[in-house]
């Protein structure tokens, strides 16, 4: 037998004679492993937050109806913008006693306009309150 083989055999024998001591190793996670486990632990929390946020938004939208059935179509009156006409003039014509700024904001939201600029021939829905 060569010397290297004898040394390896001697080490194996020493380990066996040391008793039945079980070596426990501690788990070492790499940075990537920590990121994976953290992500897996956070997924249920994120999903729960999304469910709460989405359900809360729907509840708030339904509470805004004052006794009206959901999905009931609101009545609208439509007007066509004439040359030189502005939303301010339209708001004053629709309800002379109301603040035109409030009515303009309602018209912009109702028609999903990007700005308060209107073009001749443009058809707009007006809220009937």
12 SS3 class: helix
Per-domain residue ranges for the chain?
A: 76-127
The architecture that CATH gives domain 76-127 is: Roll (3.10)
Q: Which backbone phi and psi does 77 adopt, to 5 degrees?
A: -115, 135
Q: At what angle do helices 100-111 and 87-94 cross, to 10 degrees?
A: 110
pLDDT tens-digit readout, 93-120: 888 888 889 888 888 988 888 888 888 8
pLDDT tens-digit readout, 20-78: 567 788 878 899 999 999 999 999 999 888 888 887 655 454 444 455 555 566 677 88
Q: Please, is 125 exposed, middle or buried when counting C-beta atoms within 10 Å of its C-beta (0-12, 13-18, 19+)?
A: middle
């Amino acid at each position: 037998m060569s010397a290297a083989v004898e040394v390896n055999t001697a080490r194996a024998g020493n380990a066996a004679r040391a008793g039945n001591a079980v070596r426990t190793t501690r788990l070492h996670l790499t940075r990537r492993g920590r990121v994976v486990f953290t992500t897996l632990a956070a997924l249920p929390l994120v999903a729960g937050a999304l469910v709460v946020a989405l359900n809360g938004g729907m509840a708030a939208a339904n509470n805004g109806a004052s006794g009206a059935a959901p999905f009931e179509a609101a009545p609208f009156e439509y007007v066509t913008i004439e040359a030189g006409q502005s939303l301010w003039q339209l708001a004053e014509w629709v309800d002379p006693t109301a603040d035109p700024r409030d009515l303009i904001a309602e018209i912009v939201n109702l028609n999903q306009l990007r700005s308060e600029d209107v073009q001749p021939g443009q058809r707009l829905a007006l809220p009937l309150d």
